[in-house]
C-alpha cells in the first residue's frame, strides 16, 4: 500500500525517472550512451503526444510566482497541444549539479551557467540541437558573443543563451538615506564604495559592504573585482594554452581592498560565509548596505526574499581607470538532456523558444508573458543584457513598456551607463574549479587578520594550473 502510493507520486512528478508505474503518456527515456539518430525537423502533421520536464522556479519561490509560471505553461500547451510540460523546481548549484547529472535526475530542459557549456558539450552530456535552433525564426539575431558559450569548436549549437547579466553594485537606498548618503548618487569609484560602506556601518550598524564566500561564489566575486580593477584570472596563449594568473597584481589589490574594509574599517559586518542565496536574503532583510549582484537579481529578491521595493537600488560596478578594466559578465544557457527521445528534443526546443526567447522576439508572447506576470504581481522590466541584438532588445522594451512595474527610477544609475561599460566573459578554462579554489582565499582574508595574500594566491595559482592541465 505504502509503496504503491509513493511510487505513484514519483511517477507524476518526474517523468525522467524510470519508474514501474507511469500515470501519464510518458515517453520512455533511452539508456545513456545510446547513439542518437540524426536530428529531424518538426513534422508538418500533428506530432504524437509527448511529455517533457522543464525547470520551473527556484525552490522556495512564492505561490504567486508559481502561479505565473503555470499560466505560461498553460499558454504553451494551448499553442502546442501535443506537448505536456511538467515543471520541476531547479537551482543550479556547483555542489549538487554533478550528483544530479550522474543520477539522471535533471529535467529534460535545464539551465547551466555559461561557464559549464563547453565542458558539458565535451562530455556529451547535452544534445546537439543545432538544426532545431537554427530553424527558429530569430536564431540569426542571437548575440554571437553569447551564443559561443553554447557552441562546440565547429560552431554547432548545443545550448542556447537565455539570459545574460552584467554584475551590478546593488545597494539599499533606505540604509543610504539613514546614513546621510544620497541614494540617487551611488558610489562611482572603489574609494567611494569604501567610504560609503564605512558611513553605513557606523550609522546603520549593519554591513556597509558584504562579500559572498562559499559555494564557489567567493571566487566568482573576487574575479569580478579583479576584472573591474583591470586584471584577469587566466591568459590564453596564441597556441590556445591557458595559463592561470590568479596571483596577478589586480587580484592582490582586490583582496587588499577587502582586507581594508574588513580589518581597518570594520565595515563588512560579521558574517563572512554568505552564498548567493543567503546574501540575497540578508540584503532583503536590510542587513547589507552594498554588494555585488547580477543586474537581474530583483526578480529573485521579490519572489524569494520578500524585498521591500523601496529599498532597492542598483548602479554599475565601478571600473578602475586602466584600459584593461572591464565588467565581468555571465549568463545562463538552456540545454537539453541527452536522456531524451527525438520527439522530446523537438518539444524541448519549442519550449526554449517559447519560454526563454519568445517574450523577447515576439510581440504576442512578450505581452502575454507580461500579462501573466502582472496578474500574479510579479516583477516586469528587470534590467538584463540583450540576448539578441540591441535593436530587438529596445523593441521588446517598447512592447512591454505599459506593463513595467519595477521601480525604474531606482535602476536608472545602472541603466544609464551599463551599455557604455566594456564587457568581458568569465575565465574560460576550469572556471568553477578556479572559483572553488579561490573561495578559501577570500574566506581567509575575511576571517584571518594576518592572512598572507600573496602566498595564498600563489598556492591557489598552482592548484588552478594543475586543474587546467588536467582539464577539470
117 φ, ψ (degrees, to nearest 5) = -55, -60
CB of 414 vs other proteins, minimal distance in Å: 25
Nearer to other proteins, 52 or 120 (CB): 120
Burial string for 208-234 (b: 16+ CB within 10 Å, else e) reads: bbbbbbbbbbbbbbbbbbbbbbbbbbb
Residue of 438, 409, 97, 122 whose CA lies nearest to 255: 438
Give the CA angle between residues 217, 220, 224 to the nearest 5°.
Answer: 135
Please give the radius of gyration of the chain, using alpha carbons only, rounded to the nearest integer: 23
Decide whether 60 or 137 has the Cβ nearer to other proteins.
60
Distance CA 292, CA 212 (A): 9
Measured CA to CA, the distance from residue 252 to residue 460 in angstroms comes to 12
Nearer to other proteins, 79 or 100 (CB): 100
C-alpha 407/C-alpha 386 separation (Å) is 20
Distance CA 263, CA 254 (A): 14
In terms of DSSP bridges, do strands 288-294 and 159-172 run parallel, antiparallel, or are they unpaired?
antiparallel
Residue 102 vs 391, nearer CB to other proteins:
102
What is residue 354's DSSP assignment? Answer: I
Do residues 423 and 327 make contact, with C-beta atoms less than 8 angstroms apart? Answer: yes
409 DSSP 8-state letter: H
Nearest-approach distance from CB 6 to other proteins, in angstroms: 5
Residue 363 or residue 454: which is nearer to other proteins going by CB?
A: 454
Nearer to other proteins, 172 or 432 (CB): 432
- Residues 295, 414 contacting (CB under 8 angstroms): yes
Cell (9 digits) for 270: 560579521
Residue 136 or 336 having the CB closest to other proteins: 336
Nearest distance in Å: CB 464, other proteins: 13
State the minimum distance, in angstroms, from the CB of residue 425 to other proteins. Answer: 17
Instruction: Tell the burial category of 342 from Cβ atoms under 10 Å away from its Cβ (0-12, 13-18, 19+).
Output: middle
Nearer to other proteins, 53 or 162 (CB): 53
> Which residues is 113 bridged to in the sheet?
332
Nearest to 163 by CA among 112, 100, 109: 112
Nearest distance from C-beta of residue 352 to other proteins, angstroms: 21
CA 419 to chain centre: 19
Decide whether 295 or 432 has the Cβ nearer to other proteins: 432
Tell the smallest beta-carbon distance from residue 448 to other proteins (Å).
6
Q: How far is the CB of 300 from other proteins (least distance, A)?
A: 9
Least distance in angstroms from the C-beta of 462 to other proteins: 9
Query: Shortest gap between Cβ of 400 and other proteins (angstroms)?
Result: 27
Amino acid at each position: 500500500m505504502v509503496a504503491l502510493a509513493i511510487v505513484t507520486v514519483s511517477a507524476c512528478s518526474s517523468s525522467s525517472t524510470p519508474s514501474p508505474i507511469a500515470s501519464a503518456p510518458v515517453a520512455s527515456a533511452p539508456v545513456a550512451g545510446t547513439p542518437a539518430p540524426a536530428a529531424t525537423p518538426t513534422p508538418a502533421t500533428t506530432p504524437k503526444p509527448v511529455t517533457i520536464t522543464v525547470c520551473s522556479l527556484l525552490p522556495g519561490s512564492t505561490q504567486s510566482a508559481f502561479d505565473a509560471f503555470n499560466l505560461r505553461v498553460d499558454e504553451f500547451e494551448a499553442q502546442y497541444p501535443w506537448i505536456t510540460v511538467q515543471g520541476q523546481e531547479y537551482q543550479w548549484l556547483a555542489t549538487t549539479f554533478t550528483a544530479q547529472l550522474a543520477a539522471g535526475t535533471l529535467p529534460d530542459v535545464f539551465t547551466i551557467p555559461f561557464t559549464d557549456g563547453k565542458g558539458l558539450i565535451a562530455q556529451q552530456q547535452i544534445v546537439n540541437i543545432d538544426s532545431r535552433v537554427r530553424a527558429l525564426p530569430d536564431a540569426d539575431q542571437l548575440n554571437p558573443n553569447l551564443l559561443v558559450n553554447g557552441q562546440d569548436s565547429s560552431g554547432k549549437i548545443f545550448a542556447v543563451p537565455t539570459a545574460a547579466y552584467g554584475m551590478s553594485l546593488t545597494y539599499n537606498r533606505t540604509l543610504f538615506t539613514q546614513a546621510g548618503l544620497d541614494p540617487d548618487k551611488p558610489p562611482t569609484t572603489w574609494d567611494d564604495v569604501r567610504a560609503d560602506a564605512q558611513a553605513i556601518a557606523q550609522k546603520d550598524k549593519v554591513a556597509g559592504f558584504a562579500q559572498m564566500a562559499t559555494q564557489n561564489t567567493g571566487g566568482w566575486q573576487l574575479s569580478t573585482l579583479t576584472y573591474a580593477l583591470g586584471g584577469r584570472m587566466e591568459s590564453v596563449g596564441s597556441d590556445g594554452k591557458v595559463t592561470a594568473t590568479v596571483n596577478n597584481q589586480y587580484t592582490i589589490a582586490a583582496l587588499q581592498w577587502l582586507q581594508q574594509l574588513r580589518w581597518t574599517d570594520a565595515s563588512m559586518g560579521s558574517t563572512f560565509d554568505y552564498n548567493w542565496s543567503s546574501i540575497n536574503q540578508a540584503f532583503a532583510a536590510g542587513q547589507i548596505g552594498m554588494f555585488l549582484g547580477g543586474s537581474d537579481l530583483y526578480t529573485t529578491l521579490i519572489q524569494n526574499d520578500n524585498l521591500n521595493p523601496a529599498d532597492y537600488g542598483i548602479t554599475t560596478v565601478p571600473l578602475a581607470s586602466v584600459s584593461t578594466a572591464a565588467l565581468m559578465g555571465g549568463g545562463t544557457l538552456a540545454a537539453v538532456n541527452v536522456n531524451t527521445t527525438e520527439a522530446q528534443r523537438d518539444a524541448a526546443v519549442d519550449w526554449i523558444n517559447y519560454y526563454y526567447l519568445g517574450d523577447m522576439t515576439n510581440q504576442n508572447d512578450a505581452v502575454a508573458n507580461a500579462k501573466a506576470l502582472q496578474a500574479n504581481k510579479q516583477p516586469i522590466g528587470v534590467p538584463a543584457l540583450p540576448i539578441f541584438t540591441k535593436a530587438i532588445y529596445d523593441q521588446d522594451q517598447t512592447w512591454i513598456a505599459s506593463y513595467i512595474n519595477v521601480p525604474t527610477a531606482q535602476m536608472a544609475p545602472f541603466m544609464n551607463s551599463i551599455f557604455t561599460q566594456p564587457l568581458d566573459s568569465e575565465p574560460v578554462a576550469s572556471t568553477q574549479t578556479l572559483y572553488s579554489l579561490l573561495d578559501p582565499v577570500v574566506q581567509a582574508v575575511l576571517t584571518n587578520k594576518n592572512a598572507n595574500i600573496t602566498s595564498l594566491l600563489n598556492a591557489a595559482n598552482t592548484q588552478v594550473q594543475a586543474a587546467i592541465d588536467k582539464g577539470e
